[in-house]
Amino acid sequence: MQSRRGLNLPEYLDLPEAQALRGRDFLCVRDLTEAELRLVFRVAEDLKARQKAGHPHPWLAGKSLGLVFQKASTRTRVSFEVGMYQLGGQSLFLGARDLQLGRGETIADTARVLSRYLDGIMIRTYAQEEVEELARYASVPVINGLTDLLHPCQALADLFTVRERRGELAGLKLAYVGDGNNVAHSLLLAGAKFGMEVRVASPPGYAPRADLVAEAGRLAEATGGRILITEDPRAAAQGADVLYTDVWASMGQEAEAEERRRLFFPYQLNRELVAGAAQEVLVMHCLPAHRGEEITDEVLDGPHSVVWDQAENRLHVQKALLLLLLR
């Protein structure tokens, strides 16, 4: 166990939840209990306050994190690299051209080798199965930085942002309008874990995956939350405490962009949709935003928007995960 002497480690690292998280993977929101998720938020809050106050916290000194990017990124790369630096460790960027995965080396062999050099691996890729295989063969913690199925780090930063503004999450209504994609899947699971009412409005054929909706429904039953899937964006937005959207064509879907623009236009997050929500509604977007498509300028830059806090909180929440998993 890492000594508290000389490092001024915070007492929350002695909690049973913190001890249970050490050395674990984070591949999906379901991997963590509600108590463990609440600890992540508590640690993120503390690390954010320390960073804002200029108090150094190099508690991962000597640790190295590999950043495996099969998909390009702005916020994920910068927030993990800066976060590791602020925690006293170092990060190593491994792009698609830097590894041998594209030239026949198996994920299992890559996992075994990287585990001999690194203290943790963050991977952003296409298939969830690739992340799960990497974690199965790695002997160090693996963090899911995004797959086509899930975006768990984003969902934690999102709910941390809502919690900052509204306090307790239970009972709040979060309405996601747009593609039932990886962001929607992770919001369904995370919101259900905290007893929120999560509504998703998508065009026919673009609803979230049925098995994940069913899983979120079971979680919501246990926490007092609720899950609603609809094709009506106005019904989803009615009285919502949070309005959330994402791009209509994600990375790899560029060929479908024109068709998606036509189908998704009625789901645009605009002034009319905001007018139907709660008076103090929070507007969220995981970025990058295509202004004038899924969200209008006046809403993205308007008084209800917390999009920039949401983007910043990727840093603080991921630092909390790194500290709890890698220390």
- Catalytically active residues, by annotation: 124, 151, 154, 246, 286, 314
Q: Which residues, in sequence order, are CB contacts of 38 under 8 Å at separation 6+?
A: none
The Cα–Cα gap between 136 and 224 comes to 33
Q: Angle, to 10 degrees, between the axis of helix 182-193 and the axis of helix 210-223?
A: 20
The Cα–Cα gap between 245 and 287 comes to 9
Structure tokens belonging to residue 68: 């495996």
Q: Which residues pair with 174 in a beta bridge?
A: 198, 242
Whole-angstrom Cα Rg for the chain = 19
One-letter amino acid at 200 equals V
Peptide bond into 266 cis (omega under 30): no
Is residue 175 within 8 Å of 201, Cβ to Cβ? Answer: yes
Q: Which residues pair with 293 in a beta bridge?
A: none
The Cα–Cα gap between 152 and 158 comes to 10
Q: How far, CA to CA in Å, does 240 sit from each of 117, 148, 152, 168, 274?
A: 47, 27, 22, 15, 9
One-letter amino acid at 41 equals F
Residue 261's Cβ-count burial label (10 Å; 0-12, 13-18, 19+) is middle
User: Measured at the alpha carbon of residue 31, what is the angle toward residues 25 and 32, in degrees to the nearest 5?
Assistant: 105
Residue 281's Cβ-count burial label (10 Å; 0-12, 13-18, 19+) is buried
Is residue 138 within 8 Å of 111, Cβ to Cβ? Answer: yes
